[in-house]
Chain A
Amino acid sequence: MLQFVNVTLNGLVQGMIFAAFALALVLIWRSTRIVNFAQGSMAAATTFIALAIIQAGQSYWVALVVALLSGFLIGAVIERVVIRPVEGGPELNAVIVTLGLFVAIQALIAIVFGSSFQSFTTPFGLRGFTFGDTTILLTPNSLYVIGAVLVTMLALIALFRFTRVGLAMRASAFGQEVARLLGVRVGRMLTLGWGLAAVVGSLSGLLIAGGGLVYPAYMDVIIVSGFVAAVLGGLDSPIGAVVGGLLLGLVLSYVAGYLSPALVNMSALAILVVVLLVRPGGLFSSSTARRA
C-alpha cells in the first residue's frame, strides 16, 4: 500500500514536471504555430545561468528571476534573428531550424559551463513529509513544483482568454494576413510569443533541475515525455498539457515501479502512437477543424 502511494506521488510530481515543459510547447504553438524542438536546450541554458548565479552566492530567488528574464531575452532574440527569416515559408523549415538550434545550444552550454554533472539546489526541503513513522514520497519541493505549474497554467489560460494581447497573439498565429489587416502588429506578437514561451520553458527547466542533477543534456529525457504530454493534451490547450503530463507521469511511474524500468521510454512512445491513432487531435483538442 505504501509503495502504491509513493509510486503514485512520484508519478504526480514527475507528471507536473512533464506538464511544465508541455505548457511551454503549447504556448509557442498557440502563439506561432511552430513546434519548438529547441525548447529543452533553451531551458537548459537558462538553468545553467541560474546555477552560475547560485554558485556565486546569490539566493535561489534571484537566480530564478534572472533565469526567467534571460529566458525571455533568448526567446525573443532567437525569434528575431533565427526564426524570422524562415517564417512564412513552409512550416517544416522553421521546425528544422529549431532542431538545429537544439543541437547548437546544447553544445554551447557544454562549451561555456562544462559538461560535468552538478547538483541543483532547491528553495525547499528534500525530505518527504512524515506521518507517524512512515515517510511519503512528497517533499516540500514537490509542493512547490505542483503549485508553480498550476499557477503557470492558470496564467496562460487567463492570458489567452481574457487579455487583448492574448487575443492578438492567437490572431497572429492563426492568420497573419488577416491579423495584420485588423491592425495587429504581427511581428511583435510573434516575438512576444517566443519570449513568453521561453520564460515558461525556463521555469520548467528550473523546476526539473531542483533537487536533482543537471548537465547540458539533462532535458533530453524530459523533451520526449514533454512532447508526448503536449500531444496527449492536444498541443493547443494549457489544461490539456497539464492533464496529459499527469497521465503520462502516473503511467510511467507505475511502469517503472511495477513492471520494468526498461519499459519506461517505450511506454511513453507507445502512448504517443496510440493517441495519434485514436485521437489525432489529442484528448482536449477543440480546434481540429480550424486550420488556417
Chain B
Amino acid sequence: MTRSSRRLTRLLAAATVTSALAACGGGGDGGGGGGGGENEASDIGVTADTIRIGSHYPLTGVAAPGYSEIPTGAQCYFEFVNDAGGVYDRQIEFIYRDDAYNPTQTVQVVNELVLQDEIFAMMGGLGTPTHRAVLDFLNGEGVPDLFVASGSLLWDNPEEYPYTFGWQPDYEIEGKFIGNYIAENFPDARVGLFLQDDDFGEDGRAGLEGYIEDQIVAVETYVPGNTDVGPQIAALQAAGADLVVSFSVPSYTALGQLAALRLGYQPQWFYSNVGSDPTLVGSLLANFSEGAVSDASLLDGAITTEYIPTVDQTDNPWVQLWQRVWDECSTAEGELTNFRIYGMNQAYTTVQALQAAGQNPTRDGLVAAVEQAGGDFQGSWYAPFRYSADRHAGISGMQVSRITGNTSEELTPVLITDNGEDVDIEESDNEPTTPPEDGIPDVEPVE
C-alpha cells in the first residue's frame, strides 16, 4: 500500500501548481531607494529583471484545508509589487509546489525548486514535519530559507542552520501566553491537552507547563492522517478535563469537535492560532444537516490567540490594504481569508528582506540583511520580529481573544515574551502601525 500511495503522491505532484507571475507594468521605483548602477545577475535565481522565490505547501491532503490558500495570498501580494515595478525593477517570480504535507514529497519538490527551478531563496515553506525534512539540504546548499510557515523552535538555530528564519510566534511562546492566561483566569480548571504528535504539540506543551503544569490532568495526541480521534477525546472526557487546550491543524480541530459532539462533551476549548479559523472550521462542518451542526457555532466561545489583524477587522488599515491587493489581483478566486492574509504578510516581509539586501543581492547578503534590519521591519504584526545575528526567531507577541461567530473579541492587550521559563510575559508598548500609502514597504538597503 505504501508503494501505491507513493505513486499517487507522485501523480499529484504532476498536477503541481507552478506559477510565475507575469511581468506587467513597467519601470517605476519599487525599490528601497538607494542603488545607482546597473542590475546584475548577482546570484543564482537573480537576473537583471527577475528574482525567483520558491516555496512548498500542502495543496492536497489532510493539511490542505486553509493552508492551501496561503500561497494564493502571497502570490497576489507579489503581483501587487510587480505591478508597481517590482523590487529594484526586478519582477518577483513566485514558484510553489504541492508536498501534500508529506515530508518525503517535500524533499522531492524542494530539490526541484533548488536544482531545477534554481530559486534564489525559499519563502514561507509550510509545516513542521515537512520543512524539517529539507532543513539540512537548504542550509547545505546555502539557500536562504526565509520565514518558515510553522511555529517550531527548529527555525531559530542560526549556528546550525544559518540560512533559516522563523516568522510567526513560535509554539513555545504561544504556549506561554495560553498557560499564563489560564493560570490567571481559570485557576481551578482541570486542563486537558489535545496535541499534534510532533514538535507543534511538544513545543506548545513545553510553553504551557511553565504556568499550568499542576492543572494538567490529561495529555492526548493525534497523528496526522489517522482521522479517528474518538478514543483520545473520550480519554480527555474521562479524565474530567473541563478546559481543553488544542494544538491542532484546522481539519483536526473539526474532527475533535465532531468527536466531542458525539460524546456530548463540552469543555471550554482553547485553540492555538493555527487551528482556530472559525470560517474554515465552519465550512468544513457545513454539510452536516439535521440541526446537528450549524456552521461556525461549534467554535463559538472558544478562546484562541492572534498576532496579525484578521479578515473580520474591516476598519483596520492593513486589512483594507490586503482587501485592495486581493481585489486587484488577476489570479484571485473566492474571498479574502485569514490564510490569504497570512500569505500576504509573509510576502510583505519577503519584499522588505529583498529591499534590505540591496540592488544586487546575494544569498549570503540576504541572510545578513534580515539579521541586521529584520528586527525593525514594520508590518501588520502586533509585535516585532526577534531577528539578529544570534537569533532567527519570529514575531514576539500575541493577544488572547475569544471567538464569537465568525469574528473575535480581544481578551488581553498584546503581550510579548521570549523563549525560556525565566523570561516573563509583558504588555507590549508598541503602537499599532499603518501601511505605507502605496502599500509597498520601503526598507533601506543595509551596508
Interface residues of A (CB under 8 A from B): 2-3, 6-7, 10-11, 14, 37, 51, 54-55, 99, 102-104, 106-107, 110-111, 115-128, 130, 135-137, 139, 211-213, 215-218, 220-221, 223-224, 227, 252-254, 256-257, 260-262, 264-265
Contact = CB atoms under 8 A, between A and B. Distances in A.
Contacts of A137: 230, 234, 262-263
B261 to A, nearest CB: 6
Contacts of A51: 287
Nearest to B65: A117
Contacts of A261: 197, 220-223, 226, 229, 231-232
A119 B232 contact: no
B17 to A, nearest CB: 11
Most chain B CB inside 10 Å of its own CB: which residue of A103, A118, A223: A103
Interface in B228-266: 228-232, 234-235, 237-238, 251, 254-255, 258, 261-265
Contact of A3 (B5, B234, B288): B234
A55 B261 contact: no
Contacts of B264: 127-128, 130, 135
Interface of B: 1, 4-5, 7-8, 11-12, 15, 59-62, 64-65, 68, 197, 220-223, 225-232, 234-235, 237-238, 251, 254-255, 258, 261-265, 284-290, 292-293
A260 to B, nearest CB: 7
**10 cross-chain pairs, A with B, having the tightest CB-CB distances, nearest first:** A135-B264, A3-B238, A257-B231, A6-B234, A10-B230, A256-B231, A119-B287, A115-B60, A117-B65, A126-B292
A47 to B, nearest CB: 12
Contacts of B287: 51, 54-55, 118-121
Contacts of B232: 256-257, 261
Contact of B59 (A115, A119, A223, A260): A115
A251 B225 CA distance: 18
Contacts of B4: 37, 99, 102-103
B15 A110 contact: yes
A3 B241 CA distance: 13
B223 A264 contact: yes
B228 A126 contact: no
A264 B226 contact: yes
B3 to A, nearest CB: 8
Given A211-B288, A262-B197, 20 more contacts: A2-B237, A2-B238, A3-B234, A3-B238, A6-B237, A10-B231, A99-B4, A102-B8, A104-B11, A107-B15, A117-B64, A123-B290, A139-B262, A212-B255, A215-B60, A216-B60, A257-B234, A260-B221, A262-B221, A262-B223
